[in-house]
Structure 1
Amino acid sequence: MKLTQILTKKLTGFWLLSLAAVAFIFLLTALVSFVQLTFKFQQQQVSELGRMLAKHQVEHQLQHLDIWLPQILAAYDTQAFVLMHKDEVLFRYDHEQQKSGVVSYERIIDTSSPLAFQITLPQPFLLKNISWHGLLVLLFGVAAIALFVRWGYRWLAQQLEGIEDLAKRSHLILSGDYDRALAESGHGRPRLINRALTQMLLELDDAQKQRARFDQFIRSNTFLDPETGIGNRLFLKNRLDALSNVDGMMAPGVLFLLEMEDLDLLQQQLDEFAIQDMLAQTISGISQVLDSQANSIFSRRSYNQFAIVVPQISLADAEKIAAKLLKICLAQPLTAIEKADDFFHIGVAYFKVGESKEQLLEEAEMALRAAQFQGCSGWFMYDKGSVDEEFAKGSVRWRSFLEYALVNKRVVAFSQAVLDSDGIEHHNEVSCRLRDNSGNLVRATLFLPMAIKCGLTPQIERQVIEIVLFDLLVSPENRQRQYSINLSLDTLTSRAFIRWLKTTLLEYRHLTPQLIFEVNEDIVVNHLDRLKVPLDMISKMGAKLCVDRVGQQVVSMQYIQACHFDIIKLHRSIVRQIHLRQENQLFVRSLIGGLYRTEVQVFAEGVESFEEWQTLKILGVSAAQGSLFSDPIEEL
């Protein structure tokens, strides 16, 4: 029950009780006064009758009493009357219908003679019975009082409801939910305070949007090419650092180097707008091709050279993408230059796990030079034999392997601890691998791209959730732990999975607060409308939401409050050597500053050195995970 309803009922009850007490005292006083007045009036009637008898005695010697006295007694509603002279009864009168509740009076008419009378009359207040019109007036008065009390109750409830609206908005503001506080404008009273709150919230919302635009501006000028809007050379370096560690590249993939021959000469022949239009069309076509490739990187290395990195891709798919890129480039009109058929060259370097990024760039450069030596627009791949054999399996074999692993429950969970600044475990992030027939573990970087192609990602992530709920959280040593689970776009947009997840979280609602569901930032930004409903459902069930790989792209941070995320995790490209990179430190400061006065926690991924962790703590990062603390551990 609302506070206003309680206060309204209490105040109305007190008001009605006070009114009833005043009315009772008034009626009691009126009743006493009425009884006393009727008794006094009756005594005056008896005295007047005595004076009349005394006068009649003087004038007529008490003769002819039966002529006028019965009429007087009947008018008095006399029940009995006796006129005596000493012990002799001179006159007697009795009413035909005797009444109960009578009062008797004895009077001596003349003190000089023994003449007296005794009269019996009804109770004086019984003479004033309430008539129908008196009763009607009484009922009208009671109804008027009831209507007045009802009107007062509604007026008081309305006034207090306005105060309740102000209190509700104030509570939302204190809890940091500014959007709901702005939407709950209501009818708060005093209206001046309500309008002042609305004005302040509008200004705060505008300030937050300005702050978000400013943060995005800072990141754009740091990591984006101002002319094309894609990543710059620093952005490429950070992303390659994130894809590698001290042992080399952590996943297979391909690097494309696209160079536009004599672009500077073309700029001299054409105006600047024509060059920009050609670049915009080329970049737009390439971006459409890369939309289907998760975690791809597109950046500008120099004025006429662009770099594209696509991780977790097979050799055959890399060749298809190279052909598509060349087709897009050749579709551009180049009639203004003489050698239009020798303008676009693409160097391709396929890399596998363990190779260094420096070697990768050298191989891509050599492949680019080989493409240029061909004398026409085309692409060239360096060393086609450097293919990860496991990753080169056919799609049919991969699908059979994945279905076999799912049916036989061969999903193996690994967990990596996330520690706060005091070294206390905050939660464990769960990843998975698949065990093949030989007992070997197949890493996620190999099977996840194929699982996405085969549409089996929801089934794999469902088994991971079942392992956490049914095996890990029921263990006595893990009952107080929290586990985070990664969810993909296919999983969150699967109706069957969302129905299963909702039913499971309801059934195990006592364990739901120990779950954290992580979503890739790139997925949230590009599919916010589709993901808002399932993410809201997960949050309302009691689980926490986390967005990871933050900083991988230069985007606005408005989605954090729109989806009510509890945790954000910095991408390893931001964390890598952050103690030596002022631009990355500026990004983290800007991000944490934008989350001021919110309960969102900022964590870091991929921390590998003590210097990185110290810098992150100074910047305000709450917790971190990485090889500095622990490697993923298999959960038995």
Structure 2
Amino acid sequence: MAGFKKLIFLQLISWIVFSALGSFLIASSFDNAVSRAQQNAQSMVSNYIQEKTMADVTPEHIRLSLGSGNVFSSFIVRDFAGQTVLNINTQSKMPVLAGIIADTMNSIRPQFAVNKSKDIKIEFLINVESQAALLQQALIFMTIISALMAFFPIFYMKTIYRKLNRNVSMTVADAVDIYITQNQVSESIDQDFNTNKVADLGAELAPSFNRLAHFLKSKQEDIKSAAQTIKQEAYKDVVTGLGNRNMFVEYYEHQIESASDKSFGSLAMVRCSELQMINQTRGYQKGDLYIKGIADIVKHVSGTYTGSQVFRLNSSDFAVILPNIPSKEAERFGETLQARFTQYQQNQELSSVANTGIVPYESGKPLGELLSVVDNAMSMAQSKQANAWHLQRETDLVNNVGAGFGNQNWRRVIREVIESRRVMLMMQNIMPIGKNVKAYAEIQARFKTEDGQMLPTASFLAMAEKLEMAVEIDQLIIDTSIEMIKSRNFNEKFFGINVTASSAHSDQFVIWLERRLLKEANLASKLIFEVSEFGLQQNIKASKRFIDMVHRVGARITVERFGVGLTSFKFFRDLKPDFIKMDASYTRGLEEDKNNQYFMRLMVDLAHRIGVSVFAEGVESQEEKHIVETLCLDGVQGYYIEKPKEV
């Protein structure tokens, strides 16, 4: 297109140059013709008057000699003294272009003639109207012809250019279509352009199109690489750096479920048993360190098996794929994990670390079915002891000891704990801030198996809630706590006991607790029952009935994990608790979080106005304790203040 514009510019310049040159030549010819005509006229007039006298030259004689008057446009006769004897002026209109040229070149000039006796002086201008008309016609004709010669090639070339452009476009489109068709089948760009088709455009274009094909290939590789990087980031767990659930599902579906070759192996699920407790009592940073520690153990143990893969499925679950590992070898894997978890438990002073459920797999087995089986294996492992593992064998599945056996086993374990009263009490004090503040010690329960092994507390309580056995567990804890207080003669201390929301909303439990506290009237005033804010919200009417009963017998109420729910202050005021425990999420990083400081100070002011004491839980550092003190809270609880101790 740029070359075509250049052609137009050159043709235009050529037309201007040739038009100017042609005009100059025609104008010069016109000037020469007029000059010759003037010379002839001057010679003719001089010869005519050479031998004549004034008496011979009369006006009538001259008019007769001039005839029609088309020869001269001006004719003046003067005598010896210079007086005008005759003045003939013929009006003639010269064409515009001719007039401009005549004026420019000064072609038409006055001519003079004198006789011998010098008594006749003639001045005249010749009439060049016919020559001027011819001049203008020649200029117009020359301009038109030169314009046609200049611009006709342009229009012709433009037509050819359009046709050529259309042919090139169609050929290129055909080549691109063929190229797309060739590469449509595969996911990657493998084929080059059809050089035979592109060759129709010229041999020079074929290499360019092939360079384009190679460029597209390289760009596709770049895009694939970038997409893979993004996918890896999206499929990676930020805390451990392991693949997440999405990567696990994709790996299983491609490498195992849809694998063309027959394969087998073992799938292990590792569930962190203390994550929730650590997050609530020690903070999310310690929770992340706990997760990283377990991830390191799992990676180290599984790293000894060829082709093993580790994924983090959710906040507390890890999946380990052990290709080509039979059940016997998977048992050794479970034993090694348990030993490492127990060592980690002792170093970190935890009640448990993680449990492991293991199942065998074969290629083609649906993932959903396998996860259901491994979840059952996990339930079996949790019901054994701290850090235990369980392998769900094929024979168990064949004999239908599968889907419900985990729950049945848990029910048996929980029933044995209740009947054998295998509960161990821990105690963690709340440190009061200020001299007139009354705080208490929170009683925490731990549970043991029949062989004395510690059960994972969070899993135990969750399964008790799931199996509708939470009321019996709460009754066991309360009975054991009252007996412990009586036997240890803790008459000067106050004790907090956790109660699940399902128990607080149970009429049967409320009646039992009222009778139990009335029987121990001297101890009722020493007890504070802790219920979570979220649990109280589930049934407001039942929650108020429970709190009223507790107050009626002389005991008190703490709303724990306050601030997590969306409780209105009116609801909080109507419940009339004695204490509230701010959730640990408000304590974490309190020295830097101005919003949490403002919220906590606001809650303290509102609570104090209605006579409610406010405690902070999850205090893990000197800085957090100092901020809590400046915000005028009434007490602090956490591992920085005191770790739970066995009674």
User: Same fold by TM-score, threshold 0.5 exceeded?
Assistant: no
Which one has a bigger Cα radius of gyration? 2
**TM-score of Structure 1 vs Structure 2, range by shorter chain:** 0.3 to 0.5
TM-score of the superposed pair, with normalisation by structure 2 = 0.40
TM-score of the superposed pair, with normalisation by structure 1 = 0.40
